[in-house]
Chains A and B, each alone.
Chain A
Amino acid sequence: MPHEVIMPALGMAQDSGQLLAWHKKPGEAVAAGDVLFEVETDKAAMEVEAQKAGYLTDVSAEAGSDVPVGQVIAMISETPEGSGEPGNGPTPEKTTDTAEPSPSGAEAGEDELPDGHQVIMPTLGMAQDTGLLVAWCKQPGDAVAADDILFEVETDKSTVEVNAGRDGFVAALLAEAGEDVPVGQAIAVISAQKPDKPVSRKAAGAPATTAGETAPELQEKAEPVNTPAPSPEKRLAAKTAPGVAGRVLASPKARRLAQEQGLDLQRLADAGHPQPFHVKDLETLKTLRAETPAASATAQRFEVRAEVKGTAFTEFATWARESGGQGDEAALLAGFAAASCGNLPSKVRVETMRQPKTYSASSLWLGQVAPADDEPEADLVVRDLRASRISSVQLEADRCPVISILRNGEGFTLVLEWPGGRLTTPQAIDLLSNFAGRMEQPLRHLL
């Protein structure tokens, strides 16, 4: 099977690389490790080695051309003739070989991985050895589009969402959330066909399944990497800001105060704020902190509360059960909550005292609130504690916003808690106001 040669991502903010020269001619035999071509980035010219032995074929980029990162520029084939199809867009079947067994061949004999495109732990920082896999955003067997967010990684600087990079199906997840995975190690496989038996396992102890140490240079890091809220302006600035090499210009006092207050000046640099930074720039950094979710912000937890008077909801639930054909009170709560979010359709998990149930609400019509228990990831959690004697909550931060419903006399107290970054303050206030309004006057929802 031919092996794709792609334009590698060699820098942090690199969109394309200039192909300086080919060191092999089309049809020429290459050995793994041979210098195949030279690329110039904004920082340096680098030689890129062949990952596999074979014949260089299907060369589709000429020396001197500027090639987008990730684009296939040639093939390494088993015959000098090649595949006959010059490196157009990669198809999932053909990508199987991008991951060579590590030189030690440690993978051989281990459980077989499904065929497909291997997704690796990307290098997001200059001196990054590992990335903490925060969460998978897809489950084994899920269909994914190239632009879908596949997983979240936390580095020492920030949490970053990483796209799948290929259309297909999640055939294997090779690391679990919470694991620290070496950069370059394969952590997922995306297959073209829906897998029969998707694989899911921990990375710890698993053999490195990518091309070993050279992986960071030559892997499919081409996938666009999305920081949570990147404006085009910010991306541009990150490229032009001084100190690309990781050095931030700041006064000693600004550094000291930032350290004392737990502020990261790098974020100001990433936002393109002009350097050098002084004490007054810390004010800007603080605003930035409130706007953009970051690793530190996700650990924070915010809450708003609302009081609901009267028994209207209880009466409405009774009416719905007896005359409206909706006997599931949790579904009503899910419908109200989803509608309060304002961005239907959404998945709401309702946790009663007994067991959690996830609902999918695709419209305001309560009858269409359907159980969706195969969806473990919810957009919103409604924690129904009316049957308990609990009168106040401040619970462990969930990954998504949580509305707790507590009994308060005849009415309820509603507490909305959310982890930093998941909601803005106006969104949170809107959400809880809408939900409280529906709980107090359920007919509002129907109108």
Chain B
Amino acid sequence: MTREITLSRAVNEAIAEEMRRDPSIILLGEDVAEAGTPFKVLSGLVEEFGTDRIIDTPISEPGFMGIAVGAAMTGLRPIVDLMFGDFLYLVMDQLCNQAAKTHYMSGGKLNVPLVLRTNMGATRRSAAQHSQSLQALVAHIPGLKVAMPSSAYEAKGLMKTAIRDNNPVVIFEDKLMYNDKAPVPEEEYLIPFGQAHIKREGRDVTLVATSSMVQVAEAAADTLAKEGISAEIIDPRTIVPLDEETILRSVRKTSRAIVIDEGHQSYGVTAEIAARISEKAFYHLDAPVIRMGAMDVPVPFSPALEDITVPNAAGVADNARKICRGELIHAA
């Protein structure tokens, strides 16, 4: 049985189900208990699990992140709620130097079964310090897994897998998608990491899109379909580990690829995936691989400006059209 639920509800269900299953799971962060987070994702959890397991912390990200890493090393399975992805900068040492490296540096004696759930996504008029999409920052660090759900279905399945993972996982939810509904099974299911989802099959161009960019790709594909261009959409679901094989198989078929992610374009997720395609499917490419990320500027507060800094469907369709026609793109 499936029903349509919001992404917010899906995350809530995943955490509740796992906390019922495993008493060692705790959740901590700012405004998680009484407020249920500013986005109301965690509403009702404190009523069921109490303040011992759903813990409101002081406003000190390095503090509660450090607590969580220590708790994870010593037997608990903490879920850390980081209110905005932009606050990742505050927890870098705890996350990248401690959580990511402890298993390796302890010779495998210690595990850090920790989930850092946070968010990303611009166009919410939240200005430059609350609108960033910083997945590339953590994906760069060996020892961290990075999940990017693109709908309620993925959000639930990936969260449950993340909680059961014995190593640190960072999950980025797009804060503009909390109220988006999608069919989600009543029955329990998990989505394994490193398995991309072919969201739509196509023959002319592969659109590799993460998180909310999958919706952008779908809208672009609809436009392109009317023009006779058949786009295939691949949602990697986790960027670490990355399901390279599904992406490469698709590109070998279509000979063209556009990679779309909401992080800044330079040195970003799109760059990494595009580079792998160029390296490993080079002789199958009939056009340059195109990256589409956010402009390399701080996210503007002005709505008119903010909207044009992130990839949109018209832009994706435009690039797809160009490479399918064989126009000279980015060529010196």
Q: Which residues of A contact B (CB under 8 A)?
A: 249, 251-256, 275-276, 278-281
Contacts A278-B326, A279-B255, A281-B326 known; list 19 others, CB within 8 Å: A249-B328, A249-B331, A251-B285, A251-B287, A252-B282, A252-B283, A252-B284, A252-B285, A252-B286, A253-B284, A253-B285, A253-B286, A254-B286, A255-B283, A275-B328, A276-B331, A278-B286, A278-B287, A279-B286
Complex-state Cα separation, A280 to B283, whole angstroms: 15
Considering only residues 93-113 of chain B, those with a C-beta below 8 Å from chain A are: none
How far, in whole Å, are A276 and B325 apart by their CA atoms in the complex?
11
Chain A residues with CB under 8 A of B282: 252
A391 to chain B, nearest CB (A): 48
A251-B286 CB under 8 A given contacts A276-B326, A278-B326, A279-B255:
yes
Give the chain A neighbours of B328 by CB distance below 8 A. 249, 275-276
A135 to B326, CA, bound (A): 41
- CB-defined A-B contacts under 8 Å, sample of 24: A249-B328, A249-B331, A251-B255, A251-B285, A251-B286, A251-B287, A252-B283, A252-B284, A252-B286, A253-B255, A253-B283, A253-B285, A253-B286, A254-B286, A255-B283, A256-B283, A276-B326, A276-B328, A278-B287, A278-B326, A279-B255, A279-B286, A280-B326, A281-B326
The minimal Cβ–Cβ distance linking B265 to chain A, given in whole angstroms, is 23
For the complex formed, measure the closest distance between the CB of B51 and the CB atoms of chain A, giving whole angstroms.
59
* CB of B53 to closest CB in A, whole Å: 55
Tell me, rounded to whole Å, the shortest Cβ–Cβ distance linking B73 to chain A: 48
Q: How far is B331's CA from A276's CA once the two chains are assembled, in angstroms?
A: 9
A253–B253 Cα distance when bound, in Å, is: 11
Q: Digitize B56-89: 1 where CB-to-A-CB distance is under 8 Å, 0 elsewhere.
A: 0000000000000000000000000000000000
Which residues of B lie under 8 Å from residue A275 when comparing CB positions? 328
Q: Write out the residue numbers on chain A whose beta carbons fall within 8 Å of the beta carbon of B287.
A: 251, 278
Chain B residues lying within 8 Å of A278, measured Cβ to Cβ, are: 286-287, 326
Q: Given the complex, which residues of B lie within 8 Å of A256, measured CB to CB?
A: 283-284
**For residue B327, which residue of chain A has the nearest CB?**
A276
Cα A106 to Cα B272 with chains together (Å) = 63
Chain B residues whose CB sits within 8 angstroms of the CB of A255 once the complex forms: 283
Q: How far is the CA of A279 from the CA of B287 in the complex (A)?
A: 10
Closest residue of A by beta carbon distance from B324: A278
Q: Roughly how many angstroms separate A279 CA and B282 CA in the complex, as a whole number?
A: 14
| Residue in chain A with minimal CB distance to B325 | A278
Q: Which of B142-179 contact A (CB under 8 A)?
A: none
In the bound complex, residues from chain A placing their C-beta under 8 Å from that of B283 are 252-253, 255-256
Q: How far is the CB of A283 from chain B (nearest CB, A)?
A: 12
- The distance from the CB of B321 to the nearest CB of chain A, in whole angstroms, is 14
Q: Once the chains are docked, how many angstroms separate the CA of A251 from the CA of B254?
A: 13
Q: How far is the CB of A304 from chain B (nearest CB, A)?
A: 38
Closest to A254 in B: B286
Residues of A within 8 Å of B286, CB to CB, are 251-254, 278-279
Residues of A within 8 A of B326 (CB): 276, 278, 280-281
Task: Tell me the minimal C-beta distance from B128 to chain A in angstroms.
Answer: 39
Residues of B within 8 A of A281 (CB): 326
| Min distance, Cβ B83 to any Cβ of chain A, angstroms | 45
Residues of A contacting B285 in the complex (Cβ-Cβ under 8 angstroms): 251-253
A279 neighbours in B (Cβ, 8 Å): 255, 286
3 nearest A-B pairs in the assembled complex, by CB-CB distance: A278-B326, A253-B286, A251-B286
Question: A280 contacts which chain B residues (CB < 8 A)?
Answer: 326
Report the separation of the CA atoms of residues A278 and B324 in the bound assembly, to the nearest whole angstrom. 10
**In angstroms, how far is the closest chain A Cβ from the Cβ of B323?**
9
Tell me the chain B residues, 183-232 only, with Cβ under 8 Å from chain A.
none
Q: Which residues of B contact A252 (CB under 8 A)?
A: 282-286
Alpha-carbon separation in the docked complex, A367 to B221 (Å) = 76
B326 CB to nearest chain A CB (Å): 4
Considering the chains assembled together, what is the distance between the CA atoms of A251 and B256 in angstroms? 10
In the complex formed, the residue of B with least CB distance to A277 is B326
How long is the Cα–Cα vector from A281 to B284 in the complex, in angstroms? 15
Nearest-neighbour CB distance to chain A for B290, whole angstroms, equals 13
Q: What is the CA–CA distance of A252 and B326 in the complex, to the nearest angstrom?
A: 13
Measured CA separation A251–B285 after assembly (Å) = 7
A53 to B247, CA, bound (A): 70
> Could you say which residues of chain A place their CB within 8 Å of the CB of B284?
252-253, 256
Shortest Cβ gap from A280 to chain B (Å): 7
B292 to chain A, nearest CB (A): 20
With a CB–CB cut-off of 8 A, which chain A residues contact B255?
A: 251, 253, 279
Measured in the bound complex, the distance between the Cα atoms of B204 and A278 in whole Å is 13
Q: How far is the CB of B254 from chain A (nearest CB, A)?
A: 11
Name the residue of chain A whose CB is nearest to the CB of B287. Answer: A251
Q: Which residues 277-298 of B sit at the A interface, judged by CB distance below 8 A?
A: 282-287
Find residues 253-268 in chain B having any chain A CB closer than 8 Å to their own CB.
Answer: 255
Q: Which residues B293-332 have CB closer than 8 A to chain A?
A: 326, 328, 331
Q: Across the two chains, which residue of chain A brings its CB closest to B283?
A: A256
Cβ distance B48 to chain A, nearest Cβ, rounded Å: 56
Min distance, Cβ B157 to any Cβ of chain A, angstroms: 36
* Residue ID in chain A nearest B288 by CB atoms: A251
Task: Name B326's closest neighbour in chain A (CB-CB).
Answer: A278
A251 and B287 CA atoms in complex are apart in Å by 6
Instruction: Kindly provide the distance from the CB of B244 to the nearest chain A CB, expressed in whole angstroms.
Output: 18
